[in-house]
Amino acid sequence: MTGTTEFSLIQKYFSYDFKRDDVALGIGDDCALLNPPSGKQLVMTVDTLVAGVHFPVATSAEDIGYKSLAVNLSDLAAMGAEPAWATLAITLPENDPEWLEKFSKSFQQTLHAHDVQLIGGDTTQGPLTITVQLTGFVDQGRAMRRDAAKPGDKIYLTGNLGDAALALKLLDVPDLPAPETRTVIIKKLNRPMPRVEFAQRVAEHCACAIDLSDGLIADLGHILKASHCGARVYFDRLPVSPEFRECMVHLDGFDFNRMILSGGDDYELCMVTSEKNESALFSLAESMDLLLTCIGEIDSSEALTVISSNGESMELTATGYQHFSHV
């Protein structure tokens, strides 16, 4: 988009009031000017959501506004960083005031819930695509990284697994399961809760973390690869929501195990740390009313083994578990 259309669109929908003290110049010039805090490292991430690829085309403008920020907030959380500044590159098929109004409101609410200022962006015409770039801070050398796991460490997880993957499947079966259960599960897909505050605080006790965007097996696999070690994960310990469990009991034809092990889009935090930090982790989680589960431990095997209830290692070679091959 060029000229007045683009200018007025930015003015109308993306010039929010909220101003951070560390932003010397926000939207309106060629670039933003920022004053990074001394003693901190800048932490940056970017994620693109393409309609029909990263979210179903029928997703509401509000949910897209929320999720485009949430996935980036989750990446910063995985490093233990405090989010601060965002840019938004948006490609729109048309100038649709109703859609833009809803997207903009939801995006604004999500920004402000985390004290993040929108400092710039780009607006173009084409198939609906949203790219958010997010910058935050972390104390020098204190970021949680994928390469810091050590044999003997324990593996912890916030929240539950598999709901978002189940939600995607449920979109194809409009009348299943009961409406209340369905609403809860679909909300997990459209409104994932990035563990931003918990992550900043847990970073005091933990040097290694990743957020779960591609599924437990794939994402834990990234930690194992970067840290040159293996892990044992106990399938029975993997946390699922009461709603997920209800679906397991009542719905046929779904591969629930695959959703738990390899379903994407959960945006929970997976942490690896020494067992001596366990009580600190659990009290922190409890103080924030957050479910935390120890799901296994790191070993020196260089392989990821999932152990079933009968103590045997689970077959992870079936299609759907192909992420396993990355380990």
Q: Based on CB atoms, which residue is closest to ligand ADP, 108 or 273?
A: 108
Asked if 30 is part of the footprint of Mg ion (rule: CB under 5 A), the reply reads yes
Q: Based on CB atoms, which residue is closest to ligand ADP, 45 or 293?
A: 45
Q: Nearest 5 degrees, angle CA 92-CA 112-CA 8?
A: 35
Least distance to ligand ADP, CB of residue 169, Å: 33
Least distance to Mg ion, CB of residue 31, Å: 8
Q: Site mask, ligand ADP, residues 209-248, x = CB under 6 A?
A: ----------------------------------------
Identified binder of ligand ADP from the candidate list 65, 80, 83, 120, rule CB under 6 A = 120
Gyration radius of the chain over CA positions? 21
- Retrieve residue 282's tokens: 């659990």
Asked if 29 is part of the footprint of Mg ion (rule: CB under 5 A), the reply reads no
* C-alpha to C-alpha distance for 83 and 217, rounded to whole angstroms: 27
Asked if 10 is part of the footprint of ligand ADP (rule: CB under 6 A), the reply reads yes
Distances (CA, A) of 182 to 10, 158, 164, 188, 246: 36, 22, 11, 10, 10
Interface with ligand ADP: number of residues (CB under 6 A): 13
Helix axes 61-79, 179-190, angle to 10 degrees: 60
Q: What is the DSSP string of 112-179?
A: HHTTPEEEEEEEEESS-EEEEEEEEEEETT---BTT---TT-EEEEES-SSHHHHHHHHTTSTT-S-H
* C-alpha to C-alpha distance for 285 and 44, rounded to whole angstroms: 26
Residue 28 interaction partner, one of Mg ion, ligand ADP, none, beta carbon < 5-8 Å per kind: ligand ADP
Identified binder of ligand ADP from the candidate list 3, 4, 17, 29, rule CB under 6 A = 29
Residue 14 interaction partner, one of Mg ion, ligand ADP, none, beta carbon < 5-8 Å per kind: ligand ADP
Q: Site mask, ligand ADP, residues 30-59, x = CB under 6 A?
A: x-----------------------------
* C-alpha to C-alpha distance for 325 and 327, rounded to whole angstroms: 5
Q: Based on CB atoms, which residue is closest to ligand ADP, 28 or 93?
A: 28
Residue 121 interaction partner, one of ligand ADP, Mg ion, none, beta carbon < 5-8 Å per kind: ligand ADP
**Pair 88, 121: CB distance under 8 Å:** yes
* C-alpha to C-alpha distance for 312 and 81, rounded to whole angstroms: 38
Residues that bind Mg ion (CB under 5 A): 30
